[in-house]
Copies of this chain bind each other. A is one copy, B any other.
Amino acid sequence: MSDGNGARRPLRVAMIGYGFMGATHSVGWRQAPHVFDLPEGVEMAVLVGRRPDAVADAAAHWGWAESATDWREVIGRPDIDIVDIVTPGDAHAEIAIAALDAGKHVLCEKPLANSVAEAEAMLAAAERAAGRGAKAMVGFTYRRVPAVTFLRDLIAQGAVGTVQQVRAAYRQDWLVDPQAPMAWRLQKEHAGSGALGDIGAHIIDMTQFVTGQRVEAVSGTVETIVTQRPRAAAASGFTGTAGEGYDEVTVDDAAIFTGRLSGGALVSFEATRFATGRKNALTIEVSGDRGALVFDLEDLNSLQFYDRTAPADRQGFTKILVTEPQHPYLSSWWPAGHMLGYEHGFVHQVVDLVQAIHDDRQPHPSFAEGLSVQRVLAAVERSAANDSAWERTEVPALATGH
């Protein structure tokens, strides 16, 4: 980035929010410039939160140069180039729109918003801002797990032929215990929806990303398995600890839905927090007339490839360890067989955002892609409310990062 005098200065980042996603994004900003050769410098400038002491502590711990409590003031600062939004979903729209209108590049955690209307407003802001060169990106980082990016590449190369069926599931079990306490993720006013919006959003995005197709219609069921939970004693940690009394769970625990892709294939989706023993089991299987590909986030350095064009007696699922220098993102990391983990996707997200800013092109996933996920989520809820009858998603044709 050039300053007023033509001298290069690094891109300066303000991050709004400092929960779990604040920690992961901080790793991204911290590692990317020291592992990859970025075309622009990056500075972790300001961390913004509501409680002054807590945000100051977080900033110091994570390596942000300053902390602040007024996000409006921060996005008004001329020395800030990128606004990274990691708040709960109910604050995304207001902050993102303001930041974009202030000419900042915006990285917004997924899901883009808590409603289609919010997401539409955000897309409109992104389109306005695009004319002024500002970029807007949604944080579906699982696209940037090397094995997922490579799976997308293989499909684009025709490795599975015509997609005929897809299975996508995201299974966790952190709510199986009926005594797991209430959390903001279980409250409709903060989280918008439950398993559907939180983890279902990931598998909708991943399906569209890897196939390059839209989910055009859905038929689904959503379910709240445990309807009351102990009041949370304090917002400490991911699930918190239990206090006295009970609160109503106002979001779903599980969603099961079938989708129809623009190319015609059926997709079975499941998003659940009640898959006992499954900790973070995002799985996708794409079946085509020439082959199949399978990914499992609990084994994230590999993918399985079945090649129907191989000799009949040698066919089988090949477990490709996606750690070779030829694989996406890998040449900047370690030798083959040295594994990457969960947070590496956040590093790659920074790499790709900075590269897109440098190249002055739209990074993926765009806000349009984020909105498309929102539309699918809304259609699932409509279908569920209408006895599972099929609902059109009204997702327009769009680029999906290919």
Contacts and interface: CB of A to CB of B under 8 A. Distances in A.
Contacts of A299: 299
Contact of A276 (B238, B287, B301): B287
A235 to B, nearest CB: 15
Interface stretch (A4-12, A24-32, A97-105, A205-213): A24-32
Contacts of A292: 275-278
Contact of A321 (B178, B276, B279, B327): B279
Contacts of A272: 165
A335 B176 contact: no
A204 B275 CA distance: 20
A172 B172 CA distance: 27
B31 A27 contact: yes
B287 A176 contact: yes
Nearest to A257: B258
A2 interface: no
A340 interface: yes
A63 B29 CA distance: 13
A270 to B, nearest CB: 6
19 contacts: A27-B31, A27-B35, A164-B176, A221-B266, A275-B287, A276-B292, A277-B292, A277-B306, A279-B321, A280-B337, A297-B339, A299-B299, A316-B318, A316-B319, A334-B343, A339-B341, A341-B344, A387-B389, A388-B388
Interface of A: 20, 23-24, 26-27, 30-31, 34-35, 37, 61-63, 150, 160, 164-165, 167, 172-174, 176-178, 219, 221, 223, 225, 238, 254, 256, 258, 266, 268, 270, 272, 274-281, 285, 287-289, 291-292, 297-302, 305-306, 308, 312-321, 323-324, 326-327, 334-344, 387-390
